[in-house]
Amino acid sequence: MAAPSPPPATTRAYRVSNVLAPPTRPASLRLLLSDAPDAATLDDWVVAVNRATAAANAPPVRHLVRLCAADDASYDAQAPALADIEVHDGIKFADGGTPSKDQVAAWLAFLRKVMAESARNGETVAPTIAVHCVSGIGRAPLLVALAYVESGVDPLEAIAAVRAQRRGAFNTTQVRFLADYKGRKALLLKDKDLDRIAAEPDAADRAGGEKSAGPGSKMRQWLKGALRRKPSKTSVASKGGEGG
């Protein structure tokens, strides 16, 4: 009797969260968290995120924010599997760490642009944005939690909302960062600002590692000013880099 065929070597079960929906306006954001795909299993990752959005009756993923370095995200952003997804590589910070003020400003500017474009097109829900780091329990959840806080949610409630969908999210440094973070409701947009915000360049492609996001526009200057606060006692990179 012939031996059974081994399972395909490329099959992998990704930890893809349920769709998260911070209470932004006028267009609602839909965010997905996952661990990092690789070149061999990228097709599996796309299947997994499509399944997650379909289960939530959410729009398909059209943006992917890749927070980890190239060595930790070994797939081609131009791969056929990503033909309908735009990959954004501009925001990078240390494993287990927290973003700089410029990186936070770039993330918020990117979300504002996606929301403004959707609202101007008459869409009440923006295309889903997937966010991953390496393990999907540190850097990516941190940015998603910031989206909640900037929608008017209390930081501790934001942490709980993300952890409900991503068990083990955040290390001590990241929890302290969020607890100290002072939101300015940057994701509650006014209709009169939509045209200007939609015309902005894509901030998530230009922020760079720890480099400044650049002087940019009035919107970027407003965001950077709004994010000025007393430095936290916690370090930018946690000791030991707790996965993500």
* Residues that are catalytic: 95, 133
Which sign does the torsion angle of CA 119, 125, 128, 129 carry?
A: positive
Radius of gyration of the chain (CA): 18
